[in-house]
Amino acid sequence: MRQFSLTNHKGDRLTILEHGASMQSWSVAAGPERRELILGYANPQQYQQDNSYLGAVVGPYANRIGNGNLQLAGQHYQLQLNEGKHHLHGGANGLHRQQWQLQQQTSSSVQLRCILPDGHSGYPGPTAFSVLYQLNTDSSLDITLSATATQLTLAGPTLHPYFNLSGKAAPINQHQLWLNAEQYTPTDSDKIPTGQLLAVAETALDFRHCKTIGTVQLDHNLAVTADMQQNAAILTSPDQQLRLLVRSDYPGLQVYTGDYLAAPFSPRQGICLEPQFYPDAPNHSQFPLRLTSPEQPFSSHIRYQLERG
């Protein structure tokens, strides 16, 4: 399995795998030590059996689509049901399970490409996906996700790294979190949105003021400003040495505290901050969504900005 290493002048190192275009490692200098920012398997072959989407590009459409029901221009498509009676993260063989092809590489960037055929996991296609990782000199990581299709289809991939800024195999409970979100999308017992937007005020989701995560269990979509000029989230290490700022042009952010992580990791060892469209957006006309067509290719931008304390 091929690995692609990116570096910058600050000594930051990012390792990307061709399998799932996955982020395997992101290590940085933090004072006198080096610190690993994300969870990863030491052996790249372990990613082929991973069920936690560890560091991968997920899609074609991130998160859940209720009953796998997709209606496009009056036509019904049945997406693969890989989470009970629902569709999750593009299906069992979504982008996270694909072998991506190298398009171009420099010392600080890599671009990979993957083509899914028509009907893959139920999606109309074929659709060509591209991801560009760019590690910048200011310790920011820019990710551009793109898709082109030969017919009207649904695209909305994202990144699924689990962050732990302490560099230790410890729960993320002592991390501090700030979320730029006034509302969230409540869900039913299957985690499918009801179609409502409710205020985070007086709920466990209210992180509008930076606070310690503690034992709260999060696996929720927050409504954020789809604006690359504003932070959607800020995660701070327990020792205050590192801060991770998340920006995206996606209107939603899934926050997941990793409560179901399994061996060799432990529950809550990492937190996911996943920019995305809202879950099940194709089935809720009031939710923001951009469809992909030959005339309107898909593109989204995510930035993880690292700051040292």
Active-site positions read: 160, 274
Q: Which residue has the tokens 């327990």?
A: 238
How far apart (Å, rounded) are the C-alpha atoms in residues 157 and 168? 29
How remote is the C-alpha of 191 from its chain's centroid? 17
Two tokens, residue 117: 């055929």
Q: State the DSSP H helix or E strand holding residue 69, giving kind and residue range, or none if neither.
A: strand 69-72
Rg for the chain, CA atoms, rounded = 18
Q: Is 199 helix (H, G, I), strand (E, B) or coil?
A: strand
CB 143, CB 7: distance < 8 Å = no
CA distance readout (Å), 84 to 80, 180, 191, 281: 10, 32, 11, 19
Q: Which residue has the tokens 């982020």?
A: 23
CA distance readout (Å), 138 to 8, 10, 95, 134, 275: 9, 8, 29, 11, 21
Q: Is the dihedral of CA 120, 194, 257, 266 positive or negative?
A: negative
How far apart (Å, rounded) are the C-alpha atoms in residues 160 and 192? 19
Bond before 238 cis per omega within 30 degrees: no
109: left (phi over 0), alpha (psi -120 to 50) or beta: beta
CB 14, CB 142: distance < 8 Å = no
